[in-house]
Structure 1
Amino acid sequence: MTVDRRRAAAALAGLLFGLVCALLGPAAPASAHAALVASDPGNGTIVPDAPNKITLTFSESVQLISGKIQVLAPDSTRADQGEPQSSGSTVTIPLRSGGGRGTYLVSYRVVSADSHPVAGSITYSVGAASTPPSEQAGAESVDPVVRALIPVGKYLGYAGLVLLVGPVLVLALLWPHRLSRVGPARLVWTGLGLVLGSTVLAIWLQAPYTTGTGLFGASLTDLQDVLGSTFGAVMLVRLGVVIASAFLLRPLLRGSGGESKADLALLGVLGVGALATWPLTGHPTASPVAGVSVVVDAIHLASMSVWLGGLVMLAGFLLRNANERELGAILPIWSRWAATAVAALIVAGSVQALIEVASFKGLYDSTYGRLILVKIALAAVVIGVAAYSRKLVRNRSAETGPRTLRRVVLAELAVTAVVLGVTAALVQIPPPRTAAAAETATTTTTVTQTVADANVSLQVDVFPATVGNNSLHLYAYTLDNKPLPVVEWTATAALPAKGIEPIEVPLLRITDFHAVGDIALPAAGDWTFKFTVRTSDIDQSTLTMTVKIA
């Protein structure tokens, strides 16, 4: 095997290894990138009367999937009525009137702002709890084949950008007139094809990804829903921009001199537009500072494409075919380009990490954070190799410089292929800020307890069960779960462990069997609540329960 073939084999091995990283990165089930942070009625709560609607609130804006939200009554019949409505991060589900007593199941599957499906279910009870319905239509998992193909498609899209953006820039500004453009043109057309193919693949995969079906299980209606979504609109814009760019590229790739400065300027504008479509369908759109994240991510992607694409042109063509005089003019300029692109990568990557990871703990305590650390380590290796290559540019030898530099460039490409694989995996993994939102949602829930004696069953809801202002809801029932009229309510709260004597809770009667009250709880601990329920002139019950206040 010749030296050139060995080098090509090494570069190919790096690319394949990066692709393997992309495939293995999301081996665990793909998690939703939005979290259900609240619902009304709350998950697991008991309400006295059947509500006329259910409200679900997520940590970021969501879009509905046709037929993927339903509410099942205790007898497993449908309790929802009409189409759910979505407004930003809130989904409202209208219900049929006159719902019976027992436990209801709400199942949902929606698409988060970063194009990932969010599925789950909650329960609530009317009057009293019962065995919940068993069907959970909204909680389908993602098909493993679809899950594996999504990062592959993203990897191919990134590779296409590398073969498209960098080579076009080199051809437009650095390419010697005497050299043939046939090889670079093939490279650019390959990149164009990869971008177009990955975009079509992304549109096709999004339908089964969002609906939870198999690779060929999505219907034409599902595909139409994807095209009508924000994701579909962005993908169609990308297709249009790339196709328009193909017509402007032809004179440049032929080297006929037919390209004008206006055409090149328009090509640059289209390139910026195409690059912007990647962050518009990913994590940046769901960021707390979405505008900043989209711009930073686009800069990160553009810098990567210019740098790696330029390296491909150097290794594949210029270092082999350009003469010493031409390299003397090209390499210093390219070295400055590379240094600028690397600096932009570092700054943009750091800003992205700060936004998505949100805390130092998130770097080592989450899969997303650990992949960020891997990417940083690989980037450090590449930057070290790039620094060595710039040293070679400054101190090159006519005999050994180009050969050595080409080997160094191939090494850069091999490592950065792995970086691309890690990047393709990252976009499928929820960032720590999403996990933090989900954790907050699980810790701020209503505490519901039921206490009873021989005459009355009392349901008590305490919200949010934390130090500070809390609301109490009291519901009185007979032992066979029928509303029990109450003549008079009284309640106190005490924390004996910290010497806090009983504090009276003022109660307001809402209905015959429902009362509410507010109390400020000054300390955490196991609070003792005491309730007196008088149901007639001679009948009353005193009930006690303990609630842990965090």
Structure 2
Amino acid sequence: MSQTIAPRVRTLLLLLLAVTGALLAGSAPVSAHAALTASDPQQGSVVKEAPAQVSLTFSEGVAMSDGSVRVLDPKGKRVDTGKTSEQGTNTYSVKLHSGLPDGTFTVTYQVVSADSHPVSGAFTFSIGAPSTTSVSVSDQEAGGGVVGWLYGFARYLSYAGFILLVGGAAFVLACWQRGTGERSVQRLVVSGWLALTGATLAMLLLRGSYTGSGKVGDIFDLTLLSDVLQTKTGAALVSRLLLLAAGALFIAVLFGAYEKREDDEEKGDLTFGLAIGGFVVAAGLAATWAMAEHASTGIQTGISMPVDVLHLLAVAVWLGGLSTLLVALYRAPSIEPAVVRRFSRIAFGSVAVLAATGIYQSWRQLGSWSAFTGTSYGQLLLVKIGLVVVLVGIAWISRRWTARLSQAPAAKAVKTSAATPVKATAKTSAKASAKASAKTSAKASAKTSAATSEEEDRESEDEKEPAAAPAGSGDGKRATQLARQRAAVATARDKRLRDADPLRSGLRRSVLAEAGVAVVLLAVTTVLTSTEPGRTVEEAEAATAATSQEATGALAVDIPFDTGGKDGKGLARVEIDPARVGGNDMHVYVQRPNGKAFDIPEVKVSFTLKAKDIGPLPVVPDRIATGHWTASGVQIPMAGNWAIAVTVRTSDIDQVTVDKNAQIG
């Protein structure tokens, strides 16, 4: 039996690692729920006098400590006091030293959003006039690197452990109470508890470095751990550990005292108590995610958090029960068709809850149809929806196999699913050996030899009935060995009978396919929970554009590009101030897909007014900082709908020209 299931288990494990690694390592560093919507001085602006402070405004409240915001002069020296303070709604500031020289200054920030994800970024402003700067902002995004990958993998394990723990226990209590005595089921549920507990402890240790320096050496920094415990996420993780302690007691009762109860009335009372207690623990565990992540921020938090708890519980009951059913079909001696039918009905209800809560969550996190295709969150959500549709389709096939299994003749069902208990075989083998030893040696040997030869003709070598102990041996060890051999033979025979049942085999294949899709679905969900919601992306872009327009009347145009080479994707932002006929100042910001400044060798811009057959008018801006190019005195001769073309070169051979129309003047 173990030889048959091992390849399938290894395949699922490899699939889990491959998909998780591809999604966590291949995805961009976390783009969190909070976004910078305004700053004073503004990004790229030129001020006549040195400001007394720098202020940052975010789309939501953030956690900020001293040193979270740094201001560097053109030589890379810090010119801020290091003390940050809150100035208003979602606005934070840091004081600057007096007597600052003219030139270009770089502002870097690293904070933690309300939904627990780290946020970092940088921008420049100039005093007097722009200048060159020696500051080079690292491409390392907060939440990335080795620590970011480890934290993401721990998040995946925590979700997987929660599903196995809650779903496995629910399957046993609601569908298959006899399963409490199955070792394979016990190991599955306990493995879920261990995975969730280990992942939670790992996240507590990794959290300080994950939201801070990103260094592996800071994982065991007790000072950082103390700081983490004072945050909302730290409190949620500690609460999860306390609930897991109660979960350990629940598991001990479920697979201990409950399994040994024989009185139906007592067992019924204990079932009710375990169901109530288990639901409280499971809902509490789900709430530790809902209260610290996306559901706890944004609009309608009073509704979204309970909905998120229901969503997580429905996922656990469906996918966790599916995993338990898969283990039972492969490892349990028998499983009644009524159990499969009961789980099928529960799974259908779970899918209905998932659909209802998922629609609400999608509306809340996206906000518009365009966010489905225009944001990373929407694109990942489309992938998740597709996987759920595939999973439901396979589940429908499983329901058909379940219906056929339940309609099978009783005699056939008994023949194919009933198994000889191993314990009973072990108890009777010693008696059989003793009786066999009482026979005379010559006559018994002849009969045993003939029986053995006849047995070899009927069965394969590994399923032969072992011979009895020699007469007069009285050897206890030999009797024990015979008991084990008889048990192994009985197990092999029962397995062969189960595998010969086409109905059970078909159900096993469909459930195995469901489990494989569920592995991929869980990995996509893990990445989705770490991605900035589409509603936040669009609101932040709108707020940034509105603030820029109100403050200066400048025109800002965002043009995505892809040179086709390695690391060739990004965004070119062209700002024209004051966007009128005559001379204008132009700034070009080149960013990576994650919003980080993109250091490229060359940028060119041209303006064309096709309606009047003017242009192209070329402009070659000067590089003043990483990803920041500027030009002064850009002449716009006439008002109209101008085509702004940007040529971006990311390497010696990779170059592309992209354009976009905008009204100037």
TM-score bracket, normalised by the shorter chain, equals: 0.7 to 0.9
Distance 1:45 1:445, change over 3 A: farther
Q: Would you tell me which structure has more helix in proportion to its own residues?
A: 2
Q: Deviations over 1:408-455 (max 9, x none)?
A: 22221121111112112222333333432443355345479xxxxxxx
Q: Which residue of 2 aligns with 1:249?
A: 251
Q: Which residue of 2 aligns with 1:376?
A: 385
Q: Are residues 1:426 and 2:435 paired?
A: no
Q: Which residue of 1 aligns with 2:29?
A: 30
CA–CA distance in structure 2, aligned partners of residues 390 and 361 of structure 1: 36
Paired residue for 1:230, among 224, 228, 232?
232
Q: Are residues 1:346 and 2:344 paired?
A: no
CA–CA distance in structure 2, aligned partners of residues 374 and 426 of structure 1: 10
Which amino acid is 2:68 matched to? K
CA–CA distance in structure 1, aligned partners of residues 246 and 82 of structure 2: 43
Preserved CA contact (<8 Å) 1:332 1:393: yes
Q: Which residue of 1 aligns with 2:510?
A: 408
Distance 1:333 1:260, change over 3 A: closer
Which region of structure 1 is more displaced relative to structure 2, 29-38 or 172-181? 172-181
Distance 1:88 1:20, change over 3 A: farther
Distance 1:179 1:443, change over 3 A: closer
Q: Deviations over 1:332-370 (max 9, x none)?
A: 322210100111122222322233233333333444333
Distance 1:192 1:319, change over 3 A: same
For the residue of structure 1 that corresponds to 2:116, the secondary structure is: coil
Which amino acid is 1:193 matched to? L
Paired residue for 1:292, among 298, 303, 309?
303
Shift of 1:200: 1.4
Q: Which residue of 1 aligns with 2:435?
A: none
Shift of 1:275: 0.8
Q: Which residue of 1 aligns with 2:85?
A: 85
CA–CA distance in structure 1, aligned partners of residues 237 and 391 of structure 2: 31
| Structure 2 gap segments, 5+ residues each | 262-266, 417-500, 557-576, 579-610, 612-638, 643-661
CA–CA distance in structure 1, aligned partners of residues 380 and 51 of structure 2: 45
Preserved CA contact (<8 Å) 2:172 2:178: no
Preserved CA contact (<8 Å) 1:319 1:327: no
Shift of 1:262: 4.3
CA–CA distance in structure 1, aligned partners of residues 384 and 393 of structure 2: 14
Q: Deviations over 1:513-534 (max 9, x none)?
A: xxxxxxxxxxx9599xxxxxxx
CA–CA distance in structure 2, aligned partners of residues 321 and 138 of structure 1: 52
Preserved CA contact (<8 Å) 1:446 1:464: yes
Preserved CA contact (<8 Å) 1:185 1:253: yes
CA–CA distance in structure 1, aligned partners of residues 252 and 82 of structure 2: 53
Q: Which residue of 2 aligns with 1:145?
A: 146
CA–CA distance in structure 1, aligned partners of residues 206 and 520 of structure 2: 24
Equivalent residue runs for 1:50-449 within 5 Å: 50-73=50-73, 76-81=76-81, 83-86=83-86, 89-132=90-133, 134=135, 136=137, 142-177=143-178, 180-218=181-219, 219-254=221-256, 255-257=259-261, 259=270, 261-262=272-273, 264-317=275-328, 321=332, 326-328=336-338, 330-396=339-405, 397=408, 398=413, 399=416, 400=501, 401-444=503-546, 446=548
Preserved CA contact (<8 Å) 1:14 1:415: no
For the residue of structure 2 that corresponds to 1:209, the secondary structure is: helix
Preserved CA contact (<8 Å) 1:65 1:109: no
Q: Deviations over 1:151-205 (max 9, x none)?
A: 3212211221121011111232333448624332222111101001111122222
Distance 1:57 1:199, change over 3 A: same
CA–CA distance in structure 1, aligned partners of residues 173 and 166 of structure 2: 11
Distance 1:139 1:249, change over 3 A: closer
Q: How many residues align?
A: 462
Distance 1:376 1:178, change over 3 A: closer
For the residue of structure 1 that corresponds to 2:173, the secondary structure is: helix
Which amino acid is 1:331 matched to? V
- Please tell me whether Structure 1 or Structure 2 has the larger radius of gyration of its CA atoms: 2
CA–CA distance in structure 1, aligned partners of residues 4 and 65 of structure 2: 50
Same amino acid, percent of matched pairs: 34
Which amino acid is 1:169 matched to? A
Preserved CA contact (<8 Å) 1:238 1:277: yes
Which region of structure 1 is more displaced relative to structure 2, 146-155 or 231-240? 146-155
CA–CA distance in structure 2, aligned partners of residues 446 and 320 of structure 1: 64
Preserved CA contact (<8 Å) 1:109 1:139: no
Equivalent residue runs for 1:392-541 within 5 Å: 392-396=401-405, 397=408, 398=413, 399=416, 400=501, 401-444=503-546, 446=548, 462-463=552-553
Which amino acid is 1:21 matched to? V
Which amino acid is 1:150 matched to? Y
For the residue of structure 2 that corresponds to 1:81, the secondary structure is: strand
CA–CA distance in structure 1, aligned partners of residues 278 and 128 of structure 2: 65
CA–CA distance in structure 2, aligned partners of residues 29 and 78 of structure 1: 29
CA–CA distance in structure 1, aligned partners of residues 140 and 177 of structure 2: 58
Which region of structure 1 is more displaced relative to structure 2, 73-82 or 23-32? 73-82
Shift of 1:30: 0.5
CA–CA distance in structure 1, aligned partners of residues 140 and 50 of structure 2: 24
Shift of 1:263: 5.3
Distance 1:177 1:128, change over 3 A: closer
CA–CA distance in structure 2, aligned partners of residues 139 and 320 of structure 1: 47
Which amino acid is 2:204 matched to? I
CA–CA distance in structure 1, aligned partners of residues 229 and 381 of structure 2: 32
For the residue of structure 1 that corresponds to 2:552, the secondary structure is: strand
Preserved CA contact (<8 Å) 2:243 2:284: yes
Preserved CA contact (<8 Å) 2:151 2:203: yes
CA–CA distance in structure 2, aligned partners of residues 421 and 28 of structure 1: 12
| Structure 1 gap segments, 5+ residues each | 449-460, 473-496, 498-523, 528-546
Preserved CA contact (<8 Å) 2:119 2:142: no
Distance 1:384 1:138, change over 3 A: closer
Preserved CA contact (<8 Å) 2:151 2:206: yes
For the residue of structure 2 that corresponds to 1:43, the secondary structure is: coil
CA–CA distance in structure 2, aligned partners of residues 138 and 79 of structure 1: 22
